[in-house]
Chains A and B, each alone.
Chain A
Amino acid sequence: MRLAIASGKGGTGKTTLAVNLALKASGTMKTVLADLDVEEPNGSIFIGGETVDEKQVYRYTPAWNQKSCSLCGKCTSWCAYNALIKLGEIILVMPNLCHSCYACSELCPDGALPMEASPLGTIRHFSRGKLDFTESKLNIGLEQAAPLIKQSLNYLDENFKDHDLQILDSPPGTACSMMEAVRSADYVILVTEPTPFGLHDLKLAVETVRQLELPFAVVINRDGIGNDELDRYLKAEEIAVWARIPHQREIAELYSRGEILFDKVAAVDDALSDILQRLEGLS
Protein backbone atom coordinates (compact mmCIF):
# COMPACT_ATOMS: atom_id res chain seq x y z
CA MET A 1 0.00 0.00 0.00
CA ARG A 2 1.42 3.34 -1.03
CA LEU A 3 -0.22 6.32 0.68
CA ALA A 4 0.55 9.89 -0.37
CA ILE A 5 -0.05 12.74 2.07
CA ALA A 6 -0.58 15.96 0.19
CA SER A 7 -2.27 19.35 0.34
CA GLY A 8 -2.58 22.34 -1.94
CA LYS A 9 -1.65 24.86 0.71
CA GLY A 10 1.70 24.74 2.47
CA GLY A 11 1.92 24.49 6.23
CA THR A 12 -1.36 22.63 6.78
CA GLY A 13 0.29 19.75 8.63
CA LYS A 14 1.39 17.25 5.97
CA THR A 15 4.69 16.49 7.65
CA THR A 16 3.12 16.36 11.12
CA LEU A 17 0.61 13.80 9.95
CA ALA A 18 3.12 11.85 7.88
CA VAL A 19 5.75 11.43 10.61
CA ASN A 20 3.28 10.62 13.37
CA LEU A 21 1.29 8.20 11.24
CA ALA A 22 4.45 6.48 10.02
CA LEU A 23 5.91 6.06 13.50
CA LYS A 24 2.66 4.76 14.92
CA ALA A 25 2.09 2.41 11.99
CA SER A 26 5.63 1.05 12.28
CA GLY A 27 4.64 -0.48 15.62
CA THR A 28 2.34 -2.97 13.90
CA MET A 29 3.49 -3.18 10.28
CA LYS A 30 6.58 -2.80 8.11
CA THR A 31 6.49 0.90 7.26
CA VAL A 32 8.63 3.30 5.26
CA LEU A 33 8.16 7.06 5.17
CA ALA A 34 9.58 9.06 2.24
CA ASP A 35 9.99 12.81 2.57
CA LEU A 36 9.46 14.02 -0.99
CA ASP A 37 9.22 17.72 -0.18
CA VAL A 38 12.66 17.87 -1.75
CA GLU A 39 12.95 21.66 -1.73
CA GLU A 40 12.32 21.97 1.99
CA PRO A 41 12.33 18.53 3.65
CA ASN A 42 11.60 18.58 7.39
CA GLY A 43 10.74 15.01 8.30
CA SER A 44 14.21 14.32 9.69
CA ILE A 45 13.76 17.06 12.30
CA PHE A 46 11.04 14.89 13.86
CA ILE A 47 12.38 11.44 13.09
CA GLY A 48 16.13 11.69 13.44
CA GLY A 49 17.36 8.12 13.68
CA GLU A 50 20.49 6.48 12.39
CA THR A 51 21.73 6.89 8.85
CA VAL A 52 21.68 3.56 7.06
CA ASP A 53 22.52 4.69 3.56
CA GLU A 54 23.29 7.90 1.72
CA LYS A 55 23.20 8.26 -2.01
CA GLN A 56 24.13 11.10 -4.32
CA VAL A 57 21.63 11.47 -7.11
CA TYR A 58 22.64 12.77 -10.51
CA ARG A 59 21.00 13.97 -13.64
CA TYR A 60 22.43 14.20 -17.12
CA THR A 61 22.90 17.43 -19.02
CA PRO A 62 24.83 18.14 -22.22
CA ALA A 63 28.39 19.41 -22.09
CA TRP A 64 29.68 21.24 -25.12
CA ASN A 65 32.69 19.77 -26.87
CA GLN A 66 34.21 22.67 -28.78
CA LYS A 67 36.66 20.52 -30.77
CA SER A 68 34.06 18.47 -32.58
CA CYS A 69 31.39 21.21 -32.92
CA SER A 70 30.83 22.63 -36.41
CA LEU A 71 28.72 25.47 -34.97
CA CYS A 72 25.69 24.58 -37.11
CA GLY A 73 23.47 25.83 -34.26
CA LYS A 74 20.75 23.22 -34.81
CA CYS A 75 20.83 22.23 -31.14
CA THR A 76 19.67 25.71 -30.16
CA SER A 77 16.59 25.39 -32.36
CA TRP A 78 15.78 21.87 -31.14
CA CYS A 79 15.95 22.68 -27.45
CA ALA A 80 12.42 23.38 -26.23
CA TYR A 81 13.71 24.88 -22.99
CA ASN A 82 16.15 27.43 -24.44
CA ALA A 83 18.90 25.72 -22.50
CA LEU A 84 21.36 26.11 -25.38
CA ILE A 85 22.41 29.44 -26.85
CA LYS A 86 24.86 30.16 -29.65
CA LEU A 87 26.98 33.17 -28.80
CA GLY A 88 29.41 33.90 -31.60
CA GLU A 89 31.56 30.79 -31.79
CA ILE A 90 30.44 29.40 -28.49
CA ILE A 91 27.55 27.10 -27.60
CA LEU A 92 26.49 27.99 -24.09
CA VAL A 93 24.67 25.30 -22.09
CA MET A 94 22.45 26.36 -19.18
CA PRO A 95 22.00 23.18 -17.15
CA ASN A 96 19.31 24.75 -14.93
CA LEU A 97 16.96 25.01 -17.90
CA CYS A 98 17.75 21.54 -19.26
CA HIS A 99 15.17 18.76 -18.83
CA SER A 100 17.57 15.95 -19.78
CA CYS A 101 15.60 14.91 -22.85
CA TYR A 102 18.82 13.99 -24.75
CA ALA A 103 17.48 15.45 -28.02
CA CYS A 104 20.42 17.82 -28.63
CA SER A 105 22.96 15.22 -27.60
CA GLU A 106 21.61 12.40 -29.75
CA LEU A 107 20.65 14.54 -32.74
CA CYS A 108 23.85 16.60 -32.92
CA PRO A 109 25.48 15.69 -36.27
CA ASP A 110 28.94 16.22 -34.79
CA GLY A 111 28.43 14.35 -31.53
CA ALA A 112 29.55 17.55 -29.82
CA LEU A 113 27.09 17.47 -26.92
CA PRO A 114 27.85 14.39 -24.81
CA MET A 115 25.64 14.02 -21.73
CA GLU A 116 27.45 14.36 -18.43
CA ALA A 117 26.32 13.65 -14.91
CA SER A 118 25.74 16.61 -12.63
CA PRO A 119 24.60 16.38 -8.99
CA LEU A 120 20.89 16.77 -8.37
CA GLY A 121 20.60 16.06 -4.67
CA THR A 122 20.82 13.35 -2.05
CA ILE A 123 18.66 10.52 -0.80
CA ARG A 124 19.29 9.45 2.80
CA HIS A 125 17.90 6.37 4.43
CA PHE A 126 17.47 6.51 8.20
CA SER A 127 16.02 4.02 10.60
CA ARG A 128 14.29 4.77 13.88
CA GLY A 129 13.13 1.72 15.73
CA LYS A 130 11.21 -0.30 13.19
CA LEU A 131 10.54 2.62 10.88
CA ASP A 132 12.49 3.15 7.68
CA PHE A 133 12.67 6.78 6.63
CA THR A 134 14.08 8.33 3.47
CA GLU A 135 14.76 12.00 2.97
CA SER A 136 15.39 13.48 -0.45
CA LYS A 137 17.04 16.88 -0.63
CA LEU A 138 17.38 18.96 -3.78
CA ASN A 139 20.67 20.81 -4.19
CA ILE A 140 20.07 24.50 -3.56
CA GLY A 141 19.88 26.61 -6.72
CA LEU A 142 18.39 23.83 -8.86
CA GLU A 143 14.93 24.54 -10.20
CA GLN A 144 13.45 21.16 -10.98
CA ALA A 145 12.18 19.07 -8.10
CA ALA A 146 10.32 16.46 -10.16
CA PRO A 147 13.35 14.49 -11.43
CA LEU A 148 14.61 13.97 -7.87
CA ILE A 149 11.15 12.89 -6.74
CA LYS A 150 11.06 10.38 -9.59
CA GLN A 151 14.43 8.91 -8.58
CA SER A 152 13.34 8.81 -4.93
CA LEU A 153 10.29 6.76 -5.88
CA ASN A 154 12.58 4.39 -7.79
CA TYR A 155 14.69 4.12 -4.63
CA LEU A 156 11.57 3.11 -2.70
CA ASP A 157 10.75 0.48 -5.31
CA GLU A 158 14.27 -0.93 -5.15
CA ASN A 159 14.64 -1.01 -1.39
CA PHE A 160 11.26 -1.23 0.28
CA LYS A 161 9.10 -3.20 -2.10
CA ASP A 162 8.00 -5.65 0.55
CA HIS A 163 6.99 -3.07 3.13
CA ASP A 164 3.31 -3.18 4.10
CA LEU A 165 2.94 0.59 4.10
CA GLN A 166 4.81 3.26 2.13
CA ILE A 167 3.92 6.80 3.18
CA LEU A 168 4.88 9.69 0.90
CA ASP A 169 5.16 13.19 2.36
CA SER A 170 4.48 15.30 -0.74
CA PRO A 171 5.51 18.84 -1.64
CA PRO A 172 2.83 21.56 -1.36
CA GLY A 173 1.01 22.99 -4.36
CA THR A 174 -0.59 21.29 -7.32
CA ALA A 175 2.15 21.77 -9.91
CA CYS A 176 4.37 19.13 -11.49
CA SER A 177 6.35 18.25 -8.34
CA MET A 178 3.22 17.49 -6.27
CA MET A 179 1.80 15.54 -9.19
CA GLU A 180 4.98 13.47 -9.52
CA ALA A 181 4.87 12.65 -5.81
CA VAL A 182 1.23 11.53 -5.61
CA ARG A 183 0.57 9.87 -8.94
CA SER A 184 2.15 6.52 -8.09
CA ALA A 185 0.14 6.25 -4.84
CA ASP A 186 -2.69 3.80 -4.22
CA TYR A 187 -4.45 6.26 -1.98
CA VAL A 188 -4.12 9.96 -1.11
CA ILE A 189 -4.83 11.81 2.12
CA LEU A 190 -5.30 15.54 1.64
CA VAL A 191 -4.55 17.56 4.76
CA THR A 192 -6.34 20.87 5.08
CA GLU A 193 -7.41 23.46 7.62
CA PRO A 194 -10.85 25.06 7.98
CA THR A 195 -9.96 28.51 6.64
CA PRO A 196 -10.80 30.00 3.24
CA PHE A 197 -7.12 29.60 2.24
CA GLY A 198 -7.17 25.95 3.27
CA LEU A 199 -10.45 25.35 1.45
CA HIS A 200 -9.43 27.19 -1.72
CA ASP A 201 -6.21 25.19 -2.01
CA LEU A 202 -7.94 21.94 -1.03
CA LYS A 203 -10.31 22.39 -3.97
CA LEU A 204 -7.30 22.59 -6.30
CA ALA A 205 -5.79 19.47 -4.71
CA VAL A 206 -9.11 17.61 -5.04
CA GLU A 207 -9.27 18.57 -8.70
CA THR A 208 -5.74 17.22 -9.11
CA VAL A 209 -6.30 13.82 -7.50
CA ARG A 210 -9.60 13.46 -9.35
CA GLN A 211 -7.81 14.12 -12.63
CA LEU A 212 -5.32 11.41 -11.67
CA GLU A 213 -8.27 9.14 -10.83
CA LEU A 214 -6.85 8.43 -7.39
CA PRO A 215 -9.05 7.54 -4.43
CA PHE A 216 -8.65 10.02 -1.57
CA ALA A 217 -9.89 11.22 1.79
CA VAL A 218 -9.41 14.38 3.83
CA VAL A 219 -7.87 14.95 7.25
CA ILE A 220 -8.78 18.27 8.87
CA ASN A 221 -6.01 19.83 10.90
CA ARG A 222 -6.42 22.76 13.33
CA ASP A 223 -10.07 21.83 13.61
CA GLY A 224 -11.88 24.64 15.39
CA ILE A 225 -10.27 27.64 13.70
CA GLY A 226 -11.82 29.46 10.77
CA ASN A 227 -15.38 28.66 9.77
CA ASP A 228 -17.70 25.85 8.63
CA GLU A 229 -17.35 26.49 4.88
CA LEU A 230 -14.95 23.53 4.62
CA ASP A 231 -17.43 21.10 6.15
CA ARG A 232 -20.17 22.28 3.85
CA TYR A 233 -17.92 21.77 0.82
CA LEU A 234 -16.84 18.28 1.92
CA LYS A 235 -20.44 17.27 2.52
CA ALA A 236 -21.64 18.63 -0.82
CA GLU A 237 -18.82 16.86 -2.65
CA GLU A 238 -19.30 13.66 -0.61
CA ILE A 239 -15.66 13.59 0.38
CA ALA A 240 -14.79 11.33 3.30
CA VAL A 241 -13.21 12.92 6.37
CA TRP A 242 -10.98 10.36 8.04
CA ALA A 243 -9.93 12.36 11.06
CA ARG A 244 -9.89 15.76 12.71
CA ILE A 245 -6.91 17.04 14.64
CA PRO A 246 -7.99 19.77 17.04
CA HIS A 247 -6.46 23.24 17.12
CA GLN A 248 -4.41 23.32 20.31
CA ARG A 249 -1.54 25.57 21.25
CA GLU A 250 0.15 22.55 22.87
CA ILE A 251 0.36 20.84 19.47
CA ALA A 252 1.93 23.93 17.90
CA GLU A 253 4.48 24.11 20.71
CA LEU A 254 5.43 20.42 20.43
CA TYR A 255 5.70 20.82 16.66
CA SER A 256 7.96 23.85 17.06
CA ARG A 257 10.40 21.72 19.07
CA GLY A 258 10.42 18.97 16.47
CA GLU A 259 8.66 16.52 18.78
CA ILE A 260 6.45 13.56 18.01
CA LEU A 261 2.83 14.18 19.05
CA PHE A 262 0.88 10.97 19.35
CA ASP A 263 2.58 9.74 22.51
CA LYS A 264 1.80 13.07 24.19
CA VAL A 265 -1.53 14.28 22.80
CA ALA A 266 -4.43 11.83 23.07
CA ALA A 267 -6.48 13.57 20.37
CA VAL A 268 -3.68 13.03 17.86
CA ASP A 269 -3.29 9.38 18.85
CA ASP A 270 -7.05 8.88 18.38
CA ALA A 271 -6.96 10.54 14.98
CA LEU A 272 -4.09 8.28 13.87
CA SER A 273 -5.92 5.17 15.10
CA ASP A 274 -8.95 6.21 13.03
CA ILE A 275 -6.78 6.70 9.95
CA LEU A 276 -5.00 3.35 10.38
CA GLN A 277 -8.33 1.62 10.79
CA ARG A 278 -9.60 3.21 7.58
CA LEU A 279 -6.43 2.13 5.78
CA GLU A 280 -6.90 -1.41 7.01
CA GLY A 281 -10.44 -1.31 5.64
CA LEU A 282 -9.08 -0.53 2.18
CA SER A 283 -6.84 -3.55 1.84
Chain B
Amino acid sequence: MKEIVILSGKGGTGKSSVCSALAHIKKDNILVADCDVDAADLHLIMAPENVPGVDFYSGIIAEIDAEKCIACGLCAQKCRFDAISLYEGKYRVEPLDCEGCAYCHYICPVEAIAIPQQNIGNYFQAESRLGFTLVHARLNIGAENSGKLVAKVKSIAKEQCKKEGKDFMLVDGSPGIGCPVISSLSGVDYVVLVTEATYSGLSDLERLWTLLDMFKLPGACIVNKADINPSVASEIRKFMQKKKIADLGDIPYSEDFPKAIAMGRTLIEENETRWRPVFEKIWKAIEEKI
Protein backbone atom coordinates (compact mmCIF):
# COMPACT_ATOMS: atom_id res chain seq x y z
CA MET B 1 0.00 0.00 0.00
CA LYS B 2 1.34 3.43 -0.94
CA GLU B 3 0.42 6.63 0.85
CA ILE B 4 0.33 9.84 -1.18
CA VAL B 5 -0.26 13.24 0.44
CA ILE B 6 -1.43 16.34 -1.43
CA LEU B 7 -0.14 19.67 -0.11
CA SER B 8 0.06 23.22 -1.36
CA GLY B 9 1.49 25.60 1.22
CA LYS B 10 -0.90 28.27 0.01
CA GLY B 11 -4.64 27.83 0.45
CA GLY B 12 -7.03 27.84 -2.47
CA THR B 13 -4.65 26.48 -5.11
CA GLY B 14 -7.02 23.62 -5.94
CA LYS B 15 -5.74 20.86 -3.63
CA SER B 16 -9.15 19.41 -2.87
CA SER B 17 -10.31 19.62 -6.51
CA VAL B 18 -7.19 17.76 -7.64
CA CYS B 19 -7.58 15.27 -4.82
CA SER B 20 -11.19 14.45 -5.68
CA ALA B 21 -10.38 14.16 -9.40
CA LEU B 22 -7.50 11.76 -8.74
CA ALA B 23 -9.63 9.77 -6.31
CA HIS B 24 -12.31 9.50 -9.00
CA ILE B 25 -9.78 8.16 -11.52
CA LYS B 26 -8.64 5.44 -9.10
CA LYS B 27 -11.96 4.98 -7.33
CA ASP B 28 -11.80 1.17 -7.33
CA ASN B 29 -8.38 0.93 -5.73
CA ILE B 30 -8.12 3.86 -3.33
CA LEU B 31 -9.01 5.19 0.08
CA VAL B 32 -9.13 8.91 0.81
CA ALA B 33 -8.27 10.69 4.08
CA ASP B 34 -9.12 14.39 4.48
CA CYS B 35 -6.48 15.71 6.85
CA ASP B 36 -7.38 19.39 6.51
CA VAL B 37 -9.09 18.91 9.84
CA ASP B 38 -9.94 22.53 10.59
CA ALA B 39 -11.56 23.18 7.20
CA ALA B 40 -12.37 19.78 5.74
CA ASP B 41 -14.24 20.10 2.45
CA LEU B 42 -13.81 16.84 0.55
CA HIS B 43 -16.98 15.36 2.01
CA LEU B 44 -18.93 18.07 0.17
CA ILE B 45 -17.85 16.50 -3.13
CA MET B 46 -17.68 12.88 -2.08
CA ALA B 47 -20.97 12.93 -0.17
CA PRO B 48 -20.24 10.01 2.11
CA GLU B 49 -23.06 8.10 3.77
CA ASN B 50 -24.17 9.68 6.99
CA VAL B 51 -22.42 8.01 9.90
CA PRO B 52 -22.09 9.19 13.47
CA GLY B 53 -18.75 10.83 14.33
CA VAL B 54 -16.41 9.31 16.86
CA ASP B 55 -15.30 11.66 19.63
CA PHE B 56 -11.59 12.30 19.75
CA TYR B 57 -9.87 13.22 22.99
CA SER B 58 -6.46 14.78 23.18
CA GLY B 59 -4.81 17.00 25.71
CA ILE B 60 -6.29 18.43 28.87
CA ILE B 61 -7.66 21.68 30.21
CA ALA B 62 -7.37 22.91 33.76
CA GLU B 63 -10.50 23.34 35.90
CA ILE B 64 -10.44 24.99 39.31
CA ASP B 65 -12.88 23.78 41.93
CA ALA B 66 -14.13 27.03 43.47
CA GLU B 67 -15.14 25.21 46.67
CA LYS B 68 -11.58 24.05 47.28
CA CYS B 69 -9.76 27.15 45.99
CA ILE B 70 -8.15 29.18 48.78
CA ALA B 71 -7.30 32.02 46.39
CA CYS B 72 -3.58 31.87 47.10
CA GLY B 73 -2.89 32.90 43.52
CA LEU B 74 0.04 30.56 42.95
CA CYS B 75 -1.56 29.07 39.82
CA ALA B 76 -2.14 32.48 38.26
CA GLN B 77 1.40 33.51 39.08
CA LYS B 78 2.92 30.40 37.48
CA CYS B 79 0.69 30.18 34.39
CA ARG B 80 2.71 31.27 31.34
CA PHE B 81 -0.40 31.62 29.22
CA ASP B 82 -2.21 34.16 31.39
CA ALA B 83 -5.10 31.72 31.47
CA ILE B 84 -5.95 32.11 35.16
CA SER B 85 -7.47 35.19 36.71
CA LEU B 86 -9.26 36.27 39.86
CA TYR B 87 -13.02 36.49 39.58
CA GLU B 88 -15.19 37.32 42.58
CA GLY B 89 -12.55 36.23 45.07
CA LYS B 90 -11.74 32.91 43.39
CA TYR B 91 -9.35 31.96 40.61
CA ARG B 92 -10.67 30.58 37.39
CA VAL B 93 -9.35 29.25 34.10
CA GLU B 94 -10.18 30.79 30.75
CA PRO B 95 -10.46 27.63 28.61
CA LEU B 96 -9.51 29.44 25.38
CA ASP B 97 -6.21 30.53 26.91
CA CYS B 98 -5.35 27.30 28.70
CA GLU B 99 -2.77 25.25 26.80
CA GLY B 100 -3.24 22.20 28.98
CA CYS B 101 0.26 22.06 30.48
CA ALA B 102 -1.08 21.01 33.91
CA TYR B 103 1.57 23.06 35.77
CA CYS B 104 -1.15 24.59 37.95
CA HIS B 105 -2.53 21.13 38.74
CA TYR B 106 0.85 19.99 40.09
CA ILE B 107 1.53 23.04 42.25
CA CYS B 108 -1.90 23.81 43.73
CA PRO B 109 -1.39 23.43 47.51
CA VAL B 110 -4.98 22.28 48.09
CA GLU B 111 -5.38 20.07 45.01
CA ALA B 112 -8.22 22.22 43.71
CA ILE B 113 -7.27 21.95 40.04
CA ALA B 114 -8.45 19.04 37.93
CA ILE B 115 -7.17 18.27 34.43
CA PRO B 116 -9.92 16.49 32.47
CA GLN B 117 -9.21 15.19 28.97
CA GLN B 118 -10.49 17.41 26.17
CA ASN B 119 -12.75 16.39 23.33
CA ILE B 120 -11.08 18.24 20.46
CA GLY B 121 -13.20 16.98 17.59
CA ASN B 122 -14.79 14.04 15.78
CA TYR B 123 -13.74 11.75 13.02
CA PHE B 124 -15.82 9.84 10.50
CA GLN B 125 -15.26 6.80 8.36
CA ALA B 126 -17.83 6.31 5.62
CA GLU B 127 -18.41 5.07 2.11
CA SER B 128 -18.35 7.91 -0.42
CA ARG B 129 -20.86 8.13 -3.23
CA LEU B 130 -18.09 7.01 -5.61
CA GLY B 131 -17.70 3.79 -3.64
CA PHE B 132 -14.35 4.25 -1.91
CA THR B 133 -13.97 4.90 1.81
CA LEU B 134 -13.48 8.47 3.02
CA VAL B 135 -12.04 9.20 6.46
CA HIS B 136 -12.54 12.80 7.51
CA ALA B 137 -12.67 14.83 10.69
CA ARG B 138 -13.87 17.99 12.28
CA LEU B 139 -11.60 19.82 14.71
CA ASN B 140 -13.43 21.81 17.35
CA ILE B 141 -13.15 25.56 17.04
CA GLY B 142 -9.89 27.04 18.29
CA ALA B 143 -8.70 23.61 19.35
CA GLU B 144 -5.06 22.85 19.96
CA ASN B 145 -3.56 19.52 18.97
CA SER B 146 -4.80 19.55 15.37
CA GLY B 147 -1.73 17.43 14.58
CA LYS B 148 -3.02 14.71 16.92
CA LEU B 149 -6.36 14.57 15.08
CA VAL B 150 -4.52 14.41 11.75
CA ALA B 151 -2.48 11.50 13.08
CA LYS B 152 -5.70 9.76 14.20
CA VAL B 153 -7.38 10.21 10.80
CA LYS B 154 -4.31 8.83 9.11
CA SER B 155 -4.01 5.79 11.36
CA ILE B 156 -7.72 4.93 10.96
CA ALA B 157 -7.41 5.37 7.19
CA LYS B 158 -4.28 3.26 6.96
CA GLU B 159 -5.79 0.40 8.90
CA GLN B 160 -8.95 0.48 6.80
CA CYS B 161 -6.95 0.71 3.57
CA LYS B 162 -5.07 -2.45 4.50
CA LYS B 163 -8.27 -4.18 5.51
CA GLU B 164 -9.86 -3.36 2.16
CA GLY B 165 -6.70 -4.43 0.34
CA LYS B 166 -6.51 -1.15 -1.58
CA ASP B 167 -3.17 -0.19 -3.10
CA PHE B 168 -3.40 3.58 -2.61
CA MET B 169 -4.22 5.91 0.24
CA LEU B 170 -4.66 9.51 -0.85
CA VAL B 171 -4.35 12.21 1.83
CA ASP B 172 -5.66 15.76 1.35
CA GLY B 173 -3.53 17.99 3.58
CA SER B 174 -3.88 21.43 5.19
CA PRO B 175 -2.51 24.67 3.89
CA GLY B 176 0.53 26.07 5.69
CA ILE B 177 3.68 24.35 6.91
CA GLY B 178 2.94 23.98 10.64
CA CYS B 179 1.54 21.40 13.01
CA PRO B 180 -1.18 19.65 10.93
CA VAL B 181 1.02 19.61 7.80
CA ILE B 182 4.01 18.15 9.63
CA SER B 183 1.71 15.56 11.19
CA SER B 184 0.26 14.61 7.79
CA LEU B 185 3.77 13.84 6.49
CA SER B 186 4.52 10.98 8.84
CA GLY B 187 4.91 7.70 6.99
CA VAL B 188 4.00 9.00 3.52
CA ASP B 189 5.55 7.53 0.40
CA TYR B 190 5.10 10.47 -1.94
CA VAL B 191 4.07 14.11 -1.84
CA VAL B 192 2.06 15.78 -4.60
CA LEU B 193 2.30 19.56 -4.49
CA VAL B 194 -0.42 21.69 -6.02
CA THR B 195 0.69 25.24 -6.59
CA GLU B 196 -0.62 28.07 -8.73
CA ALA B 197 1.11 30.44 -11.14
CA THR B 198 1.17 33.41 -8.77
CA TYR B 199 4.03 34.90 -6.77
CA SER B 200 2.22 33.89 -3.58
CA GLY B 201 1.97 30.32 -4.88
CA LEU B 202 5.69 30.25 -5.65
CA SER B 203 6.73 31.76 -2.32
CA ASP B 204 4.57 29.29 -0.38
CA LEU B 205 5.86 26.38 -2.46
CA GLU B 206 9.44 27.35 -1.66
CA ARG B 207 8.77 27.33 2.08
CA LEU B 208 6.85 24.06 1.90
CA TRP B 209 9.61 22.42 -0.12
CA THR B 210 12.22 23.46 2.44
CA LEU B 211 10.12 21.62 5.03
CA LEU B 212 9.75 18.49 2.85
CA ASP B 213 13.47 18.53 2.19
CA MET B 214 14.15 18.37 5.95
CA PHE B 215 12.27 15.06 5.99
CA LYS B 216 13.91 13.94 2.70
CA LEU B 217 10.52 13.25 1.17
CA PRO B 218 10.22 12.75 -2.58
CA GLY B 219 7.67 14.90 -4.35
CA ALA B 220 6.20 16.10 -7.59
CA CYS B 221 4.36 19.28 -8.45
CA ILE B 222 1.31 20.36 -10.45
CA VAL B 223 1.07 24.01 -11.52
CA ASN B 224 -2.59 25.00 -11.45
CA LYS B 225 -3.92 28.15 -13.17
CA ALA B 226 -0.69 27.98 -15.20
CA ASP B 227 -1.89 30.33 -17.95
CA ILE B 228 -2.88 33.10 -15.53
CA ASN B 229 0.77 34.12 -15.48
CA PRO B 230 3.07 32.16 -17.83
CA SER B 231 6.17 33.95 -16.59
CA VAL B 232 5.57 32.96 -12.96
CA ALA B 233 4.72 29.45 -14.18
CA SER B 234 8.13 29.25 -15.78
CA GLU B 235 9.78 30.58 -12.61
CA ILE B 236 8.04 27.78 -10.72
CA ARG B 237 9.32 25.25 -13.26
CA LYS B 238 12.84 26.60 -12.83
CA PHE B 239 12.51 26.18 -9.08
CA MET B 240 11.30 22.60 -9.58
CA GLN B 241 14.28 21.79 -11.84
CA LYS B 242 16.71 23.28 -9.36
CA LYS B 243 15.24 21.26 -6.49
CA LYS B 244 14.72 18.13 -8.60
CA ILE B 245 10.97 18.15 -8.02
CA ALA B 246 9.22 16.05 -10.68
CA ASP B 247 6.88 17.98 -12.98
CA LEU B 248 3.38 16.52 -13.17
CA GLY B 249 2.29 19.09 -15.73
CA ASP B 250 0.15 22.19 -15.86
CA ILE B 251 -3.55 22.75 -15.41
CA PRO B 252 -4.99 25.84 -17.10
CA TYR B 253 -7.13 28.39 -15.26
CA SER B 254 -10.64 27.03 -15.58
CA GLU B 255 -14.13 27.97 -14.48
CA ASP B 256 -14.80 24.24 -14.23
CA PHE B 257 -13.16 24.24 -10.78
CA PRO B 258 -15.70 26.48 -8.99
CA LYS B 259 -18.52 25.05 -11.15
CA ALA B 260 -17.71 21.48 -10.15
CA ILE B 261 -17.54 22.49 -6.47
CA ALA B 262 -20.86 24.31 -6.75
CA MET B 263 -22.47 21.20 -8.22
CA GLY B 264 -20.81 18.85 -5.71
CA ARG B 265 -19.02 17.02 -8.50
CA THR B 266 -15.51 15.93 -9.26
CA LEU B 267 -13.86 17.56 -12.28
CA ILE B 268 -14.21 14.22 -14.08
CA GLU B 269 -17.99 14.43 -13.64
CA GLU B 270 -18.01 18.11 -14.58
CA ASN B 271 -16.44 17.49 -17.98
CA GLU B 272 -15.27 13.94 -18.57
CA THR B 273 -13.79 14.44 -22.04
CA ARG B 274 -11.78 17.41 -20.91
CA TRP B 275 -10.52 16.31 -17.49
CA ARG B 276 -10.26 12.51 -17.54
CA PRO B 277 -7.20 12.52 -19.84
CA VAL B 278 -5.54 15.29 -17.78
CA PHE B 279 -5.88 13.48 -14.46
CA GLU B 280 -5.21 10.01 -15.91
CA LYS B 281 -1.93 11.36 -17.18
CA ILE B 282 -1.11 12.91 -13.81
CA TRP B 283 -1.99 9.71 -11.96
CA LYS B 284 0.07 7.62 -14.36
CA ALA B 285 3.06 9.88 -13.74
CA ILE B 286 2.59 9.56 -9.96
CA GLU B 287 2.34 5.77 -10.15
CA GLU B 288 5.52 5.60 -12.20
CA LYS B 289 7.37 7.59 -9.53
CA ILE B 290 6.32 5.37 -6.66
A residues touching B (Cβ–Cβ < 8 Å)? Answer: 8-12, 15, 39-40, 42, 45, 78, 80-81, 99-103, 106-107, 138, 140-145, 171-179, 183, 193, 195-197, 200-201, 204, 207-208, 211-212, 222, 225-227, 249, 252-253, 255-258
Contacts and interface: CB of A to CB of B under 8 A. Distances in A.
A183 B96 contact: yes
Contacts of A196: 41, 44, 261-262, 264
A45 B199 contact: yes
A197 B102 contact: no
Q: Which of B198, B225, B232 has the most CB of A within 10 A?
A: B198
Contacts of B208: 40
A197 B261 contact: yes
B142 A208 contact: yes
Given A103-B102, A253-B229, A172 B175 contact: yes
B96 A172 contact: no
B78 interface: yes
Contacts of B214: 140-141
Interface string B98-141: 01111100110000000000000000000000000000000101
B106 A78 contact: yes
A10 B12 contact: yes
B178 A197 contact: no
B10 interface: yes
B251 interface: no
Nearest to A15: B200
A103 B51 CA distance: 41
Contact of A39 (B178, B201, B225): B178
Contact of B11 (A9, A255, A258): A9
Given A175-B139, A212-B96, 8 more contacts: A9-B41, A80-B100, A138-B178, A145-B179, A183-B96, A195-B258, A197-B16, A197-B41
B204 A175 contact: no
A171 B142 contact: no
A175 B96 CA distance: 11
A141 B211 contact: yes
A119 B258 CA distance: 41
B178 A102 contact: no
A8 B229 CA distance: 27
Contacts of A12: 11-12
Contacts of B175: 10-11, 39-40, 172-173
Nearest to A229: B262
Given A80-B60, A179-B96, A258-B200, A143 B182 contact: yes
Given A11-B10, A138-B178, A197-B41, A253 B228 contact: yes
Contacts of A258: 198-200
A269 to B, nearest CB: 21
B211 A140 contact: yes
Contacts of A174: 38-39, 139, 141-142
Interface residues of B, number: 64
A172 B11 contact: yes
B232 A226 contact: no
Interface in B181-225: 181-182, 196-201, 203-204, 207-208, 210-211, 214, 225
A82 B168 CA distance: 32
B142 A176 contact: yes
A40 B10 contact: yes
Nearest to A211: B141
B231 to A, nearest CB: 8
Interface stretch (B84-92, B143-151, B156-164): B143-151
B289 interface: no
A78 B102 contact: yes
A195 B197 contact: no
A176 B143 contact: yes
Contacts of A253: 228-229
A102 B102 CA distance: 11
A200 B136 CA distance: 14
Nearest to A102: B80
B142 A211 contact: yes
A257 to B, nearest CB: 6
B48 interface: no
Contact of A101 (B99, B258, B264): B99
Contact of B178 (A45, A143, A211): A143
30 contacts: A8-B39, A9-B39, A9-B41, A10-B176, A15-B200, A39-B177, A39-B178, A39-B181, A45-B199, A80-B101, A101-B99, A103-B103, A171-B176, A172-B39, A195-B261, A196-B44, A196-B261, A197-B41, A208-B141, A211-B142, A222-B258, A225-B255, A225-B258, A225-B259, A227-B262, A249-B228, A249-B253, A252-B253, A256-B228, A257-B232
